[in-house]
């Protein structure tokens, strides 16, 4: 199943296996997270390589996979080694069609998980609560 291959790539994400992950995607693949919206697999490929160039030690751990027809909800834990970003959890909505991933939408809180840990910005966000 393409979803299992795709999730395995995420759990072992590194520059060497990005092409394997990209091969799971439809040409018109759609990606959305709190920072970026992309509308094709080539843009997503560039995005992933840029992130991996900056952060060498990204770790995703799949906690739960729920299937409904050709759609999946995936709960995951994420951490970046040697980073101010503390480990956090999120959920991804992944849609498949004809044996390929057609969309991946991430749901997680960037304020709580990233901005709150940046000096000065974190203080501002804590005052806004």
Domain edges within the chain: 2-128
Phi/psi for 34 (5° steps) reads -60, -15
Evaluate if residue 111 carries a pLDDT over 70: no
How far apart, in whole angstroms, are the C-alpha atoms of residue 71 and residue 95? 5
User: Residue 117 — pLDDT band, cuts 50, 70, 90?
Assistant: low
Residues 2-128, CATH architecture:
Roll (3.10)
**For position 67, what pLDDT does the model report?**
97
Partners of 74 in the β-ladder: 65, 92
Which of the pair, 90 or 83, is modelled with greater confidence? 90
pLDDT at 66 over 60: yes
Please say whether the beta carbons of 117 and 107 come within 8 A.
Answer: no
Model pLDDT, residue 28: 96
Instruction: Collapse the DSSP code of 8 into the 3-class scheme (helix H, G, I; strand E, B; otherwise coil) and give the result.
Output: helix
* pLDDT the model gives residue 15: 93
Flag whether pLDDT at 113 surpasses 70. no
What mean pLDDT comes out for the span 87-95? 91
Q: pTM above the 0.75 mark?
A: yes
Q: Reduced to 3 states, what is the DSSP secondary structure of residue 89?
A: strand
75 closest CA partner among 16, 7, 124, 23: 7
Q: Is the dihedral of CA 76, 11, 9, 81 positive or negative?
A: positive
Q: Which of 85, 62, 68, 63 is nearest to 7 (CA)?
A: 62
Check pLDDT > 80 for residue 16.
Answer: yes
**Average pLDDT of the residues in 65-77:** 96
Query: Higher confidence at residue 74 or residue 56?
Result: 74
Asked if 10 and 22 touch (Cβ cutoff 8 Å), the reply is: no
For CA atoms 15, 19, 25, 26, give the dihedral sign.
positive
């Amino acid at each position: 199943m393409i979803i299992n291959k795709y999730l395995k790539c995420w759990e072992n994400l590194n520059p060497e296996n990005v092409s394997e992950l990209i091969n799971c995607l439809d040409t018109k693949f759609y990606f959305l997270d709190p920072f970026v919206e992309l509308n094709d697999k080539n843009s997503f490929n560039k995005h992933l390589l840029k992130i991996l160039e900056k952060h060498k030690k990204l770790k995703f751990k799949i906690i739960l996979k729920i299937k409904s027809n050709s759609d999946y909800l995936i709960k995951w834990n994420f951490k970046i080694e040697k980073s101010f970003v503390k480990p956090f959890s999120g959920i991804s909505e992944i849609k498949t069609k004809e044996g390929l991933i057609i969309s991946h939408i991430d749901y997680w809180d960037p304020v709580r998980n990233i901005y709150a840990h940046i000096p000065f910005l974190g203080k501002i966000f804590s005052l806004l609560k």
